[in-house]
Amino acid sequence: MTTADAWSTQPATALLVLADGRIIEGYGLGATGEAVGEVCFNTAMTGYQEILTDPSYAGQIITFTFPHIGNVGTNDEDIETVNMAAESGIRGAVLATDITNPANYRASRHLDEWLKARNLVAICGVDTRALTSLIREQGVPNAVIVHNPEGKFDLDALKKKAAEWPGLEGMDLAKGVSTTQAHPWHEKTWEWGTGYSTGEPRDFKVVALDFGVKRNILRLLTDAGCDVTVLPATATAEDVLKHNPDGVFLSNGPGDPAATGEYALSTIKAVVEKGIPTFGICLGHQMLALALGGTTVKMHQGHHGANHPVFDHTTGKVEITSMNHGFAVDADSLPSDVEQTHVSLFDGSNCGLRHKSKPAFSVQYHPEASPGPRDSHYLFRRFTDLMRDTKAAAA
DSSP 233-290: TT--HHHHHTT--SEEEE----B-HHHHHHHHHHHHHHHHHTT--EEEETHHHHHHHH
Which distant-in-sequence residues (6+ apart) come within 8 Å of 356 by Cβ? Answer: 337, 338, 339
Residue 257: cis peptide before it, omega within 30 degrees of 0:
no
**Residue 50: closest CA among 114, 130, 102:** 114
The DSSP code for 118 is T
| Annotated catalytic residue within 282, 308, 342, 351 | 282
Residue 366 is a catalytic residue = yes
For the chain, the distance separating the N- and C-terminal CA atoms, rounded to the nearest angstrom, is: 65
- Side-chain half-sphere CA neighbours of 395 within 13 A: 7
Determine the Cα–Cα distance for residues 23 and 300; give it in Å rounded to an integer.
21
Task: Please name the amino acid found at residue 316.
Answer: G
Give the angle 258-383-227 at the CA atoms, nearest 5°: 95
Contact 288, 360 (CB under 8 A): yes
282 catalytic? Reply is: yes
**Which DSSP helix (H) or strand (E) runs through 61?**
strand 60-64
Please tell me what DSSP assigns to residue 202: P
- DSSP state at residue 207: E
Nearest CA-CA partner of 94 in 49, 47, 61? 61
Give the whole-angstrom CA distance, residue 120 versus residue 337.
45
Catalytic annotation, residues:
282, 366, 368
